[in-house]
A and B are shown apart, each in its own frame.
Chain A
């Protein structure tokens, strides 16, 4: 459903062609950053919370095998069936196996970036199972045959008029009515029918508690809760990194998650599931899919601490101006730009360069992932893997050579300074510098070094 061939600069330029829409996107997402700030300001212990969350996650990763085993054993003793999947394919096979055994025709799903990562929906649909995404934003992008453009606000790239037209076509809402309350309640009525007629419900996992074998799912809409409390089959899929050691640690993470994600003190529902509903069965699928390999990298390991709040996207000035649709990996923005390249540097190299290294993401991150440093680290991988354009690699290496040779370095600067003012500006119009609205800076006659060299020579005379 998504296109791995996307190159961020081109896709972003396309998104920016509709500048009013792009401006709206920027301010809508920035608004969430501001709401996050307002929540963080209310807690004098905010920075301590981030430090604790960082330490708990780092500790958990340092004993992940033990905690995962503890979790799986506890869950099993609670009566839950636990499955392990090494990759996306195995995950999809397991989920399909559970559904096929119970003759499931309709599955209702709450938001799960993991199932997006695994491509579960098309896999199940190809096998005759109807899959209904129930988070409102997810449902909107599912009906549009798009992928989510944000991990918390999947439809943030769309205007309400676009959604109004979609719902008119798909749910028969009134023509021309794009009032968000009206549309939301129309979707509520429409999706209630699906909840009541589904044969199985599936959720992602925000936190998995090793101590109790339970999983915690946070939503504002209540779709995860409805989805698993009605049908007899409950499946939750989780990455191996979702583990936390003890229940009490939720006292840190639930304070950070919604405040960072949406600028709300908590989600409406923070639900703890340890068993199936009465008469039902519960399954947990624990997925690796490349995560254990990232664990082995001292440089990128910290990306596994992510709790998927999306705050890094909201603060990222590049994300806000290019939208999630411009990134090749299913998770966009700063965190996606390290996770994607960790998975496949050749496919996702352009994401590592879609960053000014401003560092705001690392500062908003509730678990203190050094995101901007990881992106620069991914660039080194891209350079070594020849995943940067050849001309660019040549230019970089030439520059590096000149840096070691001051005379050459100075000469190159002089050429640039003397030639640019002579070349008519029209000739430069299509350069990357000028194309979108930057003028040529005034070029001085002499460089500082020229001036100082003359001064030294003058002194000698």
Chain B
């Protein structure tokens, strides 16, 4: 099995530990992982700002870099949602792009759906209370959990994989899957609303008694982490792969 690691732009620049944890986690299951150095961005920020031509070129670059792998795995629900669901119409009609997109997985989805893991590579203990943050794209585009709007049986990928961690207490906040207000460039275009949403979300996570917010998207975690930091609260935001590899402390 030839697996490529796709690391989104802000994870590459701001959260190399998250990228490293992803690599270590996959390698821990005995998988040979490559990290193609020519990779850039999935194109999501361009689509979200209306630049379809630019996005299409970024998507073509993505497909070009990642063709030839059995799987492409990324620790970012939002980017994977873009690749699989929200790419430009032109790319969705391009068989080369589609061939890569169908093999692209968000890392937790990959562990559960492809590898069917029932244990962690090495035993991990995290004796803390964590509150799960369901990032919107992972939730509604990748079905990480059943969205609260739909009347269908409930499940949660993140909660289920966290049961493999020793000593952890997992909580869900009030308004179980409300958006944190990051929203890509929304956080800069609409800073007042973005921060108001983030402050409310941090408070809801905090009200569970948790000291960590755990999610599968570094962008949302960066936003909430920055708000918690500005408020001098003890709340910290951690990507789930950090917890699963014992880096969460």
Residues of A within 8 A of B (CB): 8-9, 12-13, 16, 19, 22-23, 26, 30, 37, 40-41, 43-44, 46-47, 315, 317-318, 321-322, 353-360, 362-364, 373, 376, 379-384, 388, 392-393, 396-397, 399-404, 406, 409, 413, 416-417, 432-433, 435-441, 443-444, 446-453, 456
Contacts and interface: CB of A to CB of B under 8 A. Distances in A.
B55 to A, nearest CB: 7
Contact of A439 (B49, B53, B226): B226
Given A359-B140, A403-B43, A437 B199 contact: yes
Contacts of A8: 190
B193 A380 contact: no
A125 to B, nearest CB: 35
Contacts of B38: 406
| A43, A402, A452, most chain B CB atoms within 10 A | A452
Contacts of A446: 16
In terms of DSSP, what is the predominant structure of the interface of chain A? Answer: helix
Contacts of B61: 403-404
Interface in B135-180: 136-137, 140-141, 147-152, 175, 177-179
11 contacts: A8-B190, A357-B186, A359-B147, A363-B147, A403-B57, A404-B40, A404-B58, A432-B187, A438-B195, A439-B226, A444-B14
A322 B193 contact: yes
Nearest to B175: A30
B189 interface: yes
Contact of A321 (B11, B136, B186, B197): B197
B136 A358 contact: yes
A106 B230 CA distance: 57
A43 to B, nearest CB: 7
B27 interface: no
Nearest to B151: A46
B211 interface: no
Contacts of A30: 175
A356 B37 contact: no
A396 B45 CA distance: 8
B193 A318 contact: yes
B115 interface: no
A397 B197 contact: no
Given A321-B196, A397-B54, A356 B183 contact: yes
B151 A40 contact: yes
